């Protein structure tokens, strides 16, 4: 017996997937509510992040963030894959590993990305909406500032255990979950819908950036989403964009922790954001492009060798 959605259209698959996401989100709300009750917190107080920060209860928001990430990004793609195919691992492209050559190249790609994304963020912040949309821009700016304050509080770690919690919450779970949802499911659906891999990558990257609700840093996240999308297409392994995403977020958590401990200068976080670093950002962008080309070339040659071996067999 074929899975329920195996022969459905791309539009139908998208609708069913969003329905599963909605159900999972409602389940996350229910579980979050139980956590709040069991921790003897006032549910109304959780909507006021400033109060939680002031009273030192930010850890409650961290646990709720983890619950939300798991049920919003990880659970729906896994469940949906079982409705689409008899082989969810193959459909999601989690059944293929990563070569050590690609892994090394990927590490240096993401390491080189920091000045580039910082420079793109600075460019992004120069964008202005027309005057008649000034209210929208003010709302976007206010939302960005609120999320920036919350992110700063999330990244604070006074102990190793808090650092590990932050690493799991910010680096590990989002890397797995967001890539499962965006690259594993949505990129596949949009690529089938438009009958064009490139459109699938760009549409998914746009949604990936937009869903973070940080519009003044939309451009660097959009750029990262495009890179993650092409990495999946070239390697046919979801673990590659997952690791790229993990490296990107993990570096940020580690740098933040080291700056808090004053082991490194806080200026490291802003490399590429000053006009004096334009050429450094451009140089790093060239490095990223070259390294990505090497990944593409290596993976293409690897596929050719595998095809030849199958033919000879």
% of the chain exceeding 70 in pLDDT: 87
pLDDT reported for residue 308: 72
- Domain ranges across the chain: 1-91, 93-300
pLDDT reported for residue 39: 75
DSSP single-letter state for residue 86: S
pLDDT reported for residue 3: 82
pLDDT reported for residue 32: 86
pTM of the model: 0.90
Q: Which residue has the higher pLDDT, 229 or 39?
A: 229
Q: What is the DSSP string of the chain?
A: ---TTTT--HHHHHHHHHHHHHHHHHHHHHHHHHHHHHTT--GGGGG-HHHHHHHT-HHHHHHHHHHHHIIIIIHHHHHHHHHH-S-HHHHHT-S----HHHHHHHHHHHHHHHHHHHHHHHHHTT----GGGHHHHHHHHHHHHHHHHHHHHHH--SSHHHHHHHIIIIIIHHHHHHIIIIIIIIHHHHHHHHT-HHHHHHHHHHHHHHTTT-GGGHHHHHHHHHHHHHHHHHH--THHHHHHHHHHHHHHHHHHHHHHTTSS-GGGGGTT-SGGGHHHHHHHHHHHHHHHHHHHHHHHHHHHHHHHHHHH-
């Amino acid at each position: 017996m074929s899975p329920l959605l195996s022969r459905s259209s791309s539009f139908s698959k998208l609708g069913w997937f969003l329905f599963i996401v909605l159900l999972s989100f409602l389940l996350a709300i229910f579980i979050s509510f139980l956590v709040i009750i069991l921790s003897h917190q006032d549910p109304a107080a959780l909507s006021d992040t400033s109060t939680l920060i002031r009273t030192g209860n930010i850890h409650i928001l961290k646990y709720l963030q983890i619950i939300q990430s798991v049920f919003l990004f990880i659970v729906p793609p896994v469940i949906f894959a079982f409705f689409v195919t008899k082989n969810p691992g193959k459909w999601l492209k989690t059944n293929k590993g990563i070569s050590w050559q690609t892994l090394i190249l990927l590490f240096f790609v993401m390491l080189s990305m920091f000045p580039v994304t910082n420079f793109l963020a600075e460019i992004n912040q120069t964008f202005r909406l027309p005057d008649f949309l000034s209210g929208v821009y003010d709302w976007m700016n206010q939302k960005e500032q609120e999320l920036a304050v919350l992110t700063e509080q999330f990244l604070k770690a006074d102990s190793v255990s808090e650092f590990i919690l932050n690493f799991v919450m910010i680096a590990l779970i989002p890397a797995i979950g967001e890539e499962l949802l965006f690259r594993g499911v949505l990129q596949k659906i949009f690529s089938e819908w438009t009958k064009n891999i490139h459109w699938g990558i760009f549409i998914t990257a746009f949604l990936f950036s937009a869903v973070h609700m940080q519009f003044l840093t939309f451009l660097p996240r959009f750029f990262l989403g495009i890179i993650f999308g092409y990495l999946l297409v070239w390697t046919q392994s979801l673990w590659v964009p997952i690791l790229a995403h993990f490296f990107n977020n993990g570096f940020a958590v580690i740098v933040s922790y080291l700056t808090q401990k004053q082991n490194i200068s806080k200026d490291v976080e802003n490399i590429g954001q000053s006009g004096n670093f334009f050429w450094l950002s451009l140089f790093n962008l060239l490095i990223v492009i070259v390294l990505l080309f090497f990944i593409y070339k290596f993976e293409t040659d690897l596929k050719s060798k595998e095809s030849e071996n199958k033919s000879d067999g």
